[in-house]
């Protein structure tokens, strides 16, 4: 009885290993294809992974096509009935969301190299996200040079000594 359960367990683990191997191989092939497609564009990728989706019910692509014009990699294209996405070309930059005239029509989810996940579907969300990122970078820069800046006490001493000299 115990032998049969061991055999079943072994089959399950080998099936899981094969599935994992197939998944990893497919991911490697997708990454390779993506690199080949993006190489001529000479773009820097800031995001490890991501996804873009378009809500075809709210999309006004027939009228505007602004997202298609804004995309730096031509990942968005016009197809019968709406806007299509070539996932291998998308770099998850958010230009499409910024140019879209309809809120919550285009949704971008992306993962930065540091592991942080970001989601946005409105221009305001995107600009707020960029503001937070830039504020964090400014704070880090100030922390790096904090010791080089004069201290308030030093400034006050200098001003007092100048005042005494007058």
* Residue 137: per-residue pLDDT: 93
> 67-103 burial, b if ≥16 CB within 10 A, otherwise e?
bbebbebebbeeeeeebebeeebbbbbbbbbbbbeee
For residues 128 and 88, state if they share a domain.
Answer: yes
User: Which three-class secondary structure state does DSSP give residue 55?
Assistant: coil
For residues 34 and 50, state if they share a domain.
Answer: no
For residues 7 and 77, state if they share a domain.
Answer: no
Per residue in 53-107, pLDDT (tens digit) is 999 899 887 778 899 999 998 999 988 878 999 888 899 999 999 999 999 999 9
For residues 122 and 156, state if they share a domain.
Answer: yes
| Cα separations in angstroms, 33 against 37, 53, 79, 90, 150 | 6, 20, 23, 12, 52
For residues 29 and 72, state if they share a domain.
Answer: no
Per residue in 113-125, pLDDT (tens digit) is 888 999 999 999 9
Indicate the average pLDDT of the chain.
Answer: 84
For residues 37 and 56, state if they share a domain.
Answer: no
For residues 84 and 60, state if they share a domain.
Answer: yes
Q: The CATH number of the domain where 99 resides is what?
A: 3.30.70.20
Q: H helices of the chain, where? A: 2-38, 66-70, 95-99, 123-145, 152-165
Number of domains in the chain: 2
For residues 82 and 160, state if they share a domain.
Answer: yes
Residue 8 belongs to what domain range? Answer: 1-42
For residues 7 and 84, state if they share a domain.
Answer: no
| Whether pTM exceeds 0.75 | no
């Amino acid at each position: 009885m115990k032998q049969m359960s061991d055999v079943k367990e072994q089959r399950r683990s080998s099936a899981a290993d094969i599935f994992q191997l197939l998944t990893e191989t497919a991911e490697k092939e997708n990454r390779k294809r993506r690199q080949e497609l993006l190489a001529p564009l000479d773009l820097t990728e800031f995001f490890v992974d991501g996804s873009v989706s378009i809500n075809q019910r709210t999309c006004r692509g027939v009228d505007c096509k602004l997202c298609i014009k804004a995309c730096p990699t031509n990942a968005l294209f016009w197809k019968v009935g709406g806007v299509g996405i070539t996932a291998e070309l998308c770099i998850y930059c958010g230009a499409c969301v910024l140019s879209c005239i309809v809120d919550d029509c285009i949704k971008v989810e992306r993962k930065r190299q540091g592991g942080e996940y970001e989601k946005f579907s409105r221009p305001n969300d995107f600009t707020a996200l960029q503001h937070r990122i830039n504020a964090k970078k400014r704070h880090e820069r100030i922390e790096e040079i904090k010791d080089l800046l004069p201290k308030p006490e030093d400034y006050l001493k200098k001003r007092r000594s100048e005042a005494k000299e007058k």
